[in-house]
Structure 1
């Protein structure tokens, strides 16, 4: 369930590997990427990237070809067209990854078999939460030698999100609160400001208010598990419900939920959890449009 964010401060140098008999087509340019684990030599123009978790949307947004991705990315409805030719893999499907002949592997620092993956292709891992979600995208831009494109998107996104936040606060009031909730594996969660589900957009960029109870419990770890009985204590004036269409979401039928003021007042906005998990540029743009549409009717 980890969702994204992390990395390094990257200065890069570029060189070309070739032998006397090489032609221009067989010459392979590389760059040295300063990862959080030290310098790693990676392709300057990777053509066959494998992403083990969280970062598929970042790579797709920078128009780099993916040949293998994690199951969470593969099941995202908004990624399906872009990933139709990518294989579903994991950090344990080493033989399948070898068959894909990747020239770069990207994953989280918690991935299994990292040493074995490094034998297949240059492998760069990131620690979730080490840097903020926008810096994370910039880091991936540096890794893929697309730093300028990444920075341009970041600048534009911040401008659009902050303007939307001003408009929404003007409409709902400067003191209105918003909660993000989700039922996952029959457990209810509320989220802080850095665990996907639109939380980065709502709280970090739009500057909407988090209920104090959520701030006290969910902000440190990014999420907090609770029972349906106490959900009203964590519910803001507005509720964003990250709803997995494949699960029962039985809490929606309880009297406890139905009697929450935000529910009674029609201030609940339901999102497809499969489209809302991540915080990559493709997902963030979708989340921003979702909030503008539901809060402002745009």
Structure 2
């Protein structure tokens, strides 16, 4: 009888230990199934340190989307202006267009990183959704801006490699252009508005950074005086001859007023009479990212040098 009781006790103990072991094993399996928390790093932004994912996987870009696209960042939400840009049509397919005016769609995308500007609406709310980094337009030159995006996305090496390669190409092209058109020849970047014209300084996209900063081509004195500081200057057709360079890059806005092109003032400009006007689609040239800059470099080389 005692032996039978002992055997029964041992059997119960064995079953109990087995159950405990099974529970412990199951617990370990369940723990392994829990998603790993992303590794966070400190990014030194223009507004101070921000904890961001070391390898962001769901990025919402309210600004600087093209810079992120150029580095292969995984964007899940993008601003409408980038989405409408003809240079990025293929690259933004399937990406949801979002707006600072309505943050609920951004919440639903579950981003792990948001890129915005200091003037973006609902910035405080965005910061509660995900780590948010802001960039002020023009605070950095276009090459440094790409390197900063590279740092943010843990792709600094790729960003620096592009900068070094592109800068070399652009400087060589600038030297070749100056040799052909002369060291004192001037270039204006003019855009058609709905009611007036605009002329640009050296940091307002439309190829201005490339022409003036890297290629080091000359802008007319009147442009320096009025547009270099603020970035752009609005003007009427009547004073256009004062701002027109020997060569003109004409940014044609699809909804702009093109009637000035029928005036004698425009037709009598030396650049127009000599066939030295390059017309470009405004919608394609309002950024200063690598994709846009490579497109513009090709266009400028063809225009000035006849290279394809």
Distance 1:269 1:254, change over 3 A: same
Aligned counterpart, 1:216: 225
> Separation in 2 of the partners of 1:22 and 1:279?
45
Residue segments in structure 1 that go unaligned for 5+ positions in a row: 1-19
> Separation in 2 of the partners of 1:31 and 1:159?
32
2:124 counterpart SS class: helix
Shift of 1:185: 3.0
Q: Are 2:118 and 1:105 equivalent residues in the alignment?
A: no
Q: TM-score, normalised by structure 2?
A: 0.87
Q: TM-score, normalised by structure 1?
A: 0.90
> After superposition, what is the alpha-carbon deviation per residue over 1:235-286, rounded to whole angstroms, capped at 9, x for unaligned?
0000000112343422222221111110011000001111111101111111
Q: Are 2:61 and 1:59 equivalent residues in the alignment?
A: no
Aligned counterpart, 2:188: 179
From 158, 178, 182, the equivalent of 2:167 is 158
Task: Judging by fraction of residues, say which structure has more helix.
Answer: 2
> Separation in 2 of the partners of 1:24 and 1:254?
70
Q: Are 2:281 and 1:272 equivalent residues in the alignment?
A: yes
Shift of 1:22: 5.2
> Separation in 2 of the partners of 1:90 and 1:250?
34
Aligned counterpart, 1:233: 242
> Separation in 2 of the partners of 1:161 and 1:22?
51
> Separation in 1 of the partners of 2:250 and 2:148?
30
1:154 counterpart SS class: helix
Q: Are 2:52 and 1:42 equivalent residues in the alignment?
A: yes
Residue segments in structure 2 that go unaligned for 5+ positions in a row: 1-29
Structure 1 residues 1-298: aligned runs within 5 Å = 21=31, 26-53=36-63, 55-298=64-307
Q: How many residues align?
A: 278
> Separation in 1 of the partners of 2:102 and 2:292?
26
2:72 counterpart SS class: coil
Q: CA RMSD in A?
A: 1.4
